[in-house]
Amino acid sequence: MNKKLKMKHDQIIKPILLIIFLCFPLSFVNSAEKNHIFSFYSGIFDVIDKEKDEQTSLLGFEHNNSDLFKDTFLGKFSPISGGFITQKNSIYLYTGVQTQYELGPLKITPSFAPGYYEKGNGKNLGSVLEFKSEIKIGFDILKGAKVDFAYSHISNNEWGNINPGVNNQNISFSKSF
């Protein structure tokens, strides 16, 4: 396949696969119970890169089912899954765990999620297996709706041929269904 045709093919197939992956959790929604939390977020990928040519915007989606949890001495852990795409067609699809702590009206949510990374036209992170650690700080704006600011780090723990890592920040809107 010639390079130009392959690029057009990738520009069509990757977003379609991302949409399928991100919409898959919607098939489990039971409208009678509001246990599924869907978050949409936007932010900056590689926010502290000294070479600003790698910095770009990102759009993402995340799903959490509050019914699936495990109580531990560290808190109530629940699974998350999601993904994002950058303006340079980098894709990161992940699944992991999060916990939430409440300090008055503030909700602090740390999470950890391994995932699949494809660089597209963006930054080479050194491996397709990357790990995302994130901290969110948010508050409820309406019943069942929340706004968060999140800061995350993605790297491969030096398992890849290089490990530049990236730091990202985003603002998310979450709604329970």
DSSP 24: G
Q: How far is CA 68 from CA 78, 80, 97, in A?
A: 6, 10, 11
Both structure tokens of 172? 């998310």
Confidence of residue 120 (pLDDT cuts 50, 70, 90): very high
pLDDT at 74: 78
- Burial class of residue 109, CB neighbours in 10 A (0-12, 13-18, 19+): buried
Which of 4-13, 58-67, 70-79, 87-96 has the largest mean confidence? Answer: 87-96
The SS3 call for residue 146 is strand
Structure confidence at residue 174 (pLDDT): 92
The mean pLDDT value for 161-170 works out to 94
**Strand, coil or helix: 98:** strand
The boundaries of the domain holding residue 96 are: 3-176
pLDDT tens readout for residues 7-41: 444 555 555 555 555 554 544 444 445 688 999 99
| pTM: predicted TM-score of the whole model, two decimal places | 0.79
- CA torsion, points 28, 31, 32, 37, in degrees to nearest 10? 70
How many whole angstroms separate alpha carbon 147 and alpha carbon 59? 15
Please tell me which residue, 131 or 4, carries the higher pLDDT value.
Answer: 131
Confidence grade of residue 4 (pLDDT, cut at 50, 70, 90): very low
CATH number of the domain encompassing residue 126: 2.40.160.20
